[in-house]
Chains A and B, each alone.
Chain A
Amino acid sequence: MDFNFTEEQDMVRDGLTRMVRENYDWDTRRGVVASEAGWRPEVWAQLAELGILGMPFSEDDGGFGGGAVDSMVVMEEFGKGLVVEPFVPTVVCAGGFLKHAGTAAQKEEHIGAIVDGSRVFAFAYAEPRGRYDYANLETTAKKSGGDYVLNGHKSVVIGAPWASHLIVTARTSGERTDKQGISVFVVDKSADGVVTRDYPTVDGRHASEVYFENVSVPAEALIGEEGNALPLIERVTDEAIAAQCAEACGAMKVAHTMTVEYSRQRKQFGVPIGKFQVLQHRMVDMYTEYEQSVSLTYLATLRLDADERTRKLAVSAAKVRLGQAAHHIGQEAIQIHGGMGMTDELAIGAYFKRLTIFDSEFGNVDHHMKRHIALS
């Protein structure tokens, strides 16, 4: 057993801590989030330069030979700074599909461009009536000659306004909820018939509703096997969940630290409010939940390459526990900050909002509890 990080991982963490501190002080983040662009391509370029965007890819694919633990290290730091740049959609999701199932030509075309920061992806999988079920798909991809023609509507596609390319799940055969007949495509966002409606999200990111209106893509756009993509989608989204759990850990850590700090400084009734035992015990509970969350994030991350059942059990366990902890820690942080916690000006509110939305991404507590039960 070894819960230590390698020297390289520690170095990456240190570099990122510095980078986040320099680029993501609270006022700067607020400005960026409120700006029209909503992110900073220059920060993305800096991440590429630091090698962060290439970390989880093998050296053969043009990366630096890291893995899920490296993504965990990165995401935890991102969570601490509430970084909005689309590491999960681009590196973890798109990168994951390409890594696990891409052809040599697809890897050649896309991975290098991810690593050097020139290509940004969004992952268009959710649909208005699908509710966390990757197989509940109304988007279709019909074969037409050598091409596929895509039609459908994807909802709340995180990072899509910034993306040049989309990874899209679509039904190539079967009925709406069949587990077979699902395929994955890579689509240039500027292709004819891709229509997007962009908007900011409550947790400071940007997303789009994405409509496909007879979008024609060549056969080479198919990633992996036609009609048999569900296991692949589940694997990649499990990797995304593990990464976002690490992000949530980072955010919880900061929310907790800020709360303890605040309770030391804020005086009422002549004493720092942190002297009230009722608040002390609640901050202890927050801390305990944070530590449990870290443990399950490790478990999920270290089980990503295990057999399917082991992986899913670990990932769902993490998502359930962290979904609960994220709500709990966010709510308590606001409560202990009192009126100040309700203001847009203080960072704590932004942590609370990010932690709130975390639960609904890639399946909420109930969804993963069900998956856990089904596998147990």
Chain B
Amino acid sequence: MNLEFTPEEVAFREEVRNFIEANYPKHLGDTGLREDLAREDFVAWHKVLGEKGWSVPAWPEQYGGTGWTPTQRYIWSEENARVNALMPLPFGVSMVGPVIYTFGNEEQKAQHLPGIRSGETWWCQGYSEPGAGSDLASLKTTAVRDGDHYVINGQKTWTTLAQYADWGFFLCRTDPDAAKPQEGISFILLDMNTPGVEVRPIKLIDGGYEVNETWLTDVRVPVENLVGEENKGWTYAKFLLAHERSGIAGVARSKRGVEKLREIAGSEMLDGEPLMSDLDFARKVSQLEIDLAALEITELRTLAGEQAGKGPGPESSILKIKGTEIQQRLTELTLEAVGSYGTPLYGNIANVPGDAGSNQYPIGPDYAQHAASTYFNMRKTSIYGGSNEIQRNIITKMILGL
């Protein structure tokens, strides 16, 4: 056993770091502190990566992947996290892309994979419904065959960033009489500009609009947009969820977050000393780092398993649970570190009495400005992507055999 990187991997890290240094769009800055990002911002780095051939590192080489080993991919994500780079959204790259190249037909691959690689096409995920959250298989949106079209009716919800999306991948019920709820569901690609698709924003507790309700009324979709076989969508959805989960651990980003936290706690003062030298606070930061180290090695072990040909299995639920708990603890500690300057509401504060006309101004140190909203926002991570309760249920059944 050996934890050290090989000389080749060290050289690879160097290459990656130099590339990021030279090419990461400077105007994006440290995106870990920003919430006012627009579609162009997300796409900016993706485009550069697409040109370099690095936008879909994990894909098979024949579809434009890099052929990097899991370790190289890991180094890649670490180096991006170092500058808090705004990474390509997962919906295209890590979710629908792998489904299309694994289960899609040649036309679908030709039509969709290039846009995902280049960042030109923005995807969203249409799984959840008001009545179908954790119990996803109970979804009700229907797709009824009518000649060479499906006619889709129903309501999806929590569709992340659908307001920017060109395409979505939707789970729809194509056989309402199937014996089990998991059967009779199909995986359909939907052009979001099709008539009958209506996207309504939902405001979240952090004040942002990242999710939407998506209403589908007599939406006509060509049957060519069915991926794989009709009524087999659940298989593809599960395949995709395992991919979604492994990305969710967010180790590299949390490591960067801990560094930032140390910086903040180095500036904040307690009794005339930096907060970071306070034993109570330092203990909490170290606890976080210890948990993060455990998660990191667990993820590397999972990666090594993948390298040896094992797909991400139920162990990825461990990564999801611990990864999100750490992210939440990290943002909570960051909020604690900034003290009372976590209290002001930043962002859209046009209605400020006595200051009409001016939109925003900084209150307190820069690093405090998003501490509260980020903490509020990160509560989502233990809810989405299969809630942490559901992950524990998976481990209960699949690993413990209970």
Contacts and interface: CB of A to CB of B under 8 A. Distances in A.
A26 interface: no
Contacts of A202: 342-345, 372-373, 376
A360 B343 contact: yes
A37 B342 CA distance: 21
A376 B394 CA distance: 46
Nearest to B328: A331
Contact of A128 (B328, B353, B354, B364): B364
Nearest to A177: B272
A349 interface: yes
A342 B383 contact: yes
B202 interface: yes
A339 B384 contact: yes
Given A198-B354, A364-B336, A345 B344 contact: no
Interface stretch (B40-48, B220-228, B243-251, B263-271): B263-271
A280 interface: no
- Of the listed residues A132, A335, A369, the one surrounded by the most CB atoms of chain B closer than 10 A to its CB is A335
A344 B205 contact: yes
Interface stretch (B16-24, B31-39, B128-136, B307-315): B128-136
B340 A126 contact: yes
Interface residues of A, number: 60
A155 B340 contact: yes
B169 interface: no
A339 B384 CA distance: 7
A198 B355 contact: yes
Contact of B332 (A207, A269, A327): A327
Interface string B187-205: 0000000000000001111
Contacts of B335: 356
Which are the 3 A-B pairs with shortest beta-carbon distances? A349-B205, A344-B203, A268-B135
Interface of A: 34-38, 126, 128-129, 131-133, 136, 155-156, 158, 161, 177, 196-203, 206-207, 209, 267-270, 273, 276, 278-279, 327, 331, 334-335, 338-339, 341-345, 349-350, 352-353, 356-357, 359-361, 364, 366, 369-370
24 contacts: A37-B353, A155-B364, A156-B340, A196-B354, A199-B344, A201-B344, A201-B345, A202-B342, A202-B343, A202-B372, A207-B343, A209-B363, A270-B135, A335-B387, A335-B388, A339-B383, A356-B335, A357-B343, A357-B372, A359-B336, A360-B336, A361-B340, A366-B336, A369-B280
Given A177-B272, A198-B355, 6 more contacts: A36-B353, A131-B275, A203-B343, A335-B379, A339-B383, A344-B202
